[in-house]
Amino acid sequence: MSVRLVRLLPVALIGACLVAATPVVAKTHGSASKSAHGKSAHSASTRSTGSTLTWRGDVTVAHGVVTDVAQAWQKAGHGRIELQTFNTASGLDAVRTGTADLAGAARGASGSPQEAGLTFTPVAWDGLVMVTHPSNPVSNLTLSQVHDIYYGKITNWSQVGGKNEPIDLYAVASPADGVEFSLRKLLFGRGTQPVAAPRLYVNTSKLQEGITLDPKGLGATTLSNVVGNPKMKMIRINGVAPSAATVANGSYPLFTQLYLITNSSSPKVAQTQEFVDFVNSDAAKAVIRRHGLVPYQDGATLASMDDARRARILAEVGARPVPATRATPPIAAPGATYASQVARAPTSERTLAARQALDERRAKEAEAKAAAAAAAARPSLANVSSEATTVEKSGDSRFAKVNSTAYGSTPAGGKSYKVSRGDTLSSIARKHSVDVADLRRWNHLSSDSVKPGQVLIVSQR
């Protein structure tokens, strides 16, 4: 018996004595007394109906595994499971800090320093599915197309056989989210791959709500989350429809594991392990199958083909696995949580390109406004009609004084320069000891771009 169990035993026995008046505990204590072994007495005491375990984690594991299994657990007299459904990061944080006893995630351990001391136990197999609005005509995508959509290479439904409309790609904000992490690891070789998904949600439940309202939407969730939901359409991958049968036989390529997470330092480590064992029992397996899941122990074939499947997907999409490295743990701010570390989604190449284009457009607009302001200060013939007019007096105030500067030609006494190959506006300005701003103003340039053979005014005297 471990030191921890030895310490827990007296506490459990004292608790049983304090509530021995209740029928359930008396029954439990009686069943324990039938055995002469201390281990049986310990097992019975931890099954008191007064014992409560707190579970926190993602929507997928809550919906597919924990909610109904927890009811079976309670009916069997093991105690109560308090469910706190939110997302992966919050569950890992809660178990790490001790505010929850169990967590759930649609991914395994990532190797993050924040996960040290946490145990990830697989309990089921699920399918990662791409979902869209039922009115969307696209019903099939290849793995390469899904990869290129997330990478930002494919941005319009017409590129994959749909309407000429932009693809509204949805994702969960945290890149360490179970569904996002697992899908990106399959498609890119690493779970934290930046993707071109500007529409972000706190969990898959909210993401699915968005998809039901957007005919152009596309996002990732799991089979157990959406099976039988008429408000969303699951897309076939490489021609294979996601289902419990295609996940079980491995023909659907995007299968993944669901996990329960425990903390080896928890004071309830014995009870949490008992619940994990119960999830893998025959009684719990029957509950899990009703949600379109494959109990983990029934998926021995999936486990054996997993490595080959991952290599095949990466080869198909043109990616390569990212070797695991031992990174130096980051120095977190006091009180920093796991969720705060992972909630910032990486900026994708597509987003960076969009930001750069926006900055360039704003710069051009600013230059255009400056040029317009300069033009407004010069005499103008904008309101003069095209009819010929004889001017008797040169000082007639009805007409603006017109000189060569107004038309961009070289003023009297000024200098011009013919642009050579390799010249830039900056190099021309340095050569003639003038400012770039003056060159732009004299030549009515809206940007710093110049072309070979172009004649520029480089001096006005």
How many alpha carbons fall within 13 Å on the CB side of residue 51? Answer: 30
pLDDT at 32 over 80: no
Over range 116-136, report the average pLDDT: 95
Confidence of residue 38 (pLDDT cuts 50, 70, 90): very low
pLDDT at 21 over 90: no
Spacing of C-alpha 222 from chain mean position: 15
How far is the C-alpha of 130 from the C-alpha of 140, rounded, in Å?
Answer: 10
How many angstroms separate the most distant Cα atoms in the chain? 129
How far is the C-alpha of 243 from the C-alpha of 236, rounded, in Å?
Answer: 10
Question: pLDDT of 281-294, one tens digit each?
Answer: 998 999 999 988 99
Q: Domains in the chain, start-ordered, CATH in brackets?
A: 3-121 (3.40.190), 123-263+295-321+341-352 (3.40.190.10), 402-461 (3.10.350.10)
pLDDT > 70: what percent of the chain? Answer: 69
Q: What type of residue sits at position 274? A: E
Structure tokens at 99: 């505010």
pLDDT at 149 over 90: yes
Over range 435-450, report the average pLDDT: 81
How far is the C-alpha of 138 from the C-alpha of 394, rounded, in Å?
Answer: 73
Over range 169-184, report the average pLDDT: 87
Inter-residue contact 285 to 295 (CB < 8 Å):
yes
Inter-residue contact 205 to 106 (CB < 8 Å):
no
What local confidence, expressed as pLDDT, does residue 335 receive? 41
CA angle at 95 for the pair 90 and 100, rounded to the nearest 5° = 90
Inter-residue contact 175 to 88 (CB < 8 Å):
no
How far is the C-alpha of 452 from the C-alpha of 442, rounded, in Å?
Answer: 18
pLDDT at 63 over 80: yes
Burial of 108 (0-12, 13-18, 19+ CB in 10 A): buried
